[in-house]
């Protein structure tokens, strides 16, 4: 096993409903030379459809993400429920999930770790700190951490 950046064909799944946040994330990942494909789902229902290759994804070849970056506050099924379902599924539970949200509510943090989150990162509201936070994500989850195959 090797860090994700040594496998540029392995995808990231970003579950983010905010277009602005997603565009900034993409730009920062590009500046950090992350060449892995990035797939986006804009709500919890779509994320589950993507992961289970159902709904709009049932006729597509859907890649298994190497890491999921998950917002909590999503339309439809929220991020906590997505996290809970994925971590209870024998076929998906080894995919690392990093929660990336504006919520610093201790209950949210506790619930996410109870449901099996591999990390919890606060999403800063200003661009300078967002760049720093995404750099930490890339350094830890893409360059250093050994991910399951």
pLDDT for position 8: 67
Question: Which residues lie closer than 8 Å to 42 by C-beta, 6 or more apart?
Answer: 15, 16, 17, 74, 75
* Residue 105 pLDDT exceeds 80: yes
Residue 7 lies in a domain: no
Residue 51 lies in a domain: yes
In this prediction, residue 125 has a pLDDT band, given cuts at 50, 70 and 90, of confident
Residue 41 lies in a domain: yes
The CATH number assigned to the domain holding 82 equals 3.40.50.2300
> Total structural domains in the chain?
1
Residue 6 lies in a domain: no
Closest to 59 measured CA to CA, from 70, 48, 50? 50
Residue 103 lies in a domain: yes
pLDDT for position 141: 85
Residue 127 lies in a domain: yes
Q: What is the mean pLDDT of the chain?
A: 91
Residue 2 lies in a domain: no
Residue 38 lies in a domain: yes
pLDDT for position 135: 92
- Which residue is listed with tokens 């494909």? 37
User: pLDDT tens across 78-103, in order?
Assistant: 999 999 999 999 999 999 999 999 99
Q: What percent of the chain has pLDDT over 70?
A: 94
3-state secondary structure of 100: strand
3-state secondary structure of 60: coil
pTM, to two decimals: 0.92
Q: Which domain holds residue 140?
A: 12-144
pLDDT for position 147: 72
> What is the average per-residue pLDDT within 16-44?
94
């Amino acid at each position: 096993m090797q860090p994700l950046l040594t496998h540029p064909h392995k995808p990231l799944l970003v579950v983010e409903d905010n277009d602005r946040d997603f565009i900034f994330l993409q730009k920062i990942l590009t500046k950090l030379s992350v060449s892995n494909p990035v797939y986006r789902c804009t709500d919890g229902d779509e994320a589950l459809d993507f992961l289970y290759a159902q709904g709009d994804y049932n006729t597509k070849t859907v890649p298994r993400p190497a890491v999921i970056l998950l917002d909590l506050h999503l339309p439809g099924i929220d991020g906590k429920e997505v996290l809970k379902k994925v971590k209870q599924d024998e076929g998906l539970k080894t995919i690392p999930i990093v929660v990336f949200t504006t919520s610093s509510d201790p209950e949210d943090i506790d619930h996410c770790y109870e449901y099996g989150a591999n990390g919890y990162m606060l999403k800063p509201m200003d661009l300078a700190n967002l760049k720093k936070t995404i750099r930490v994500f890339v350094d830890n989850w893409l360059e250093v951490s050994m991910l399951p195959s």
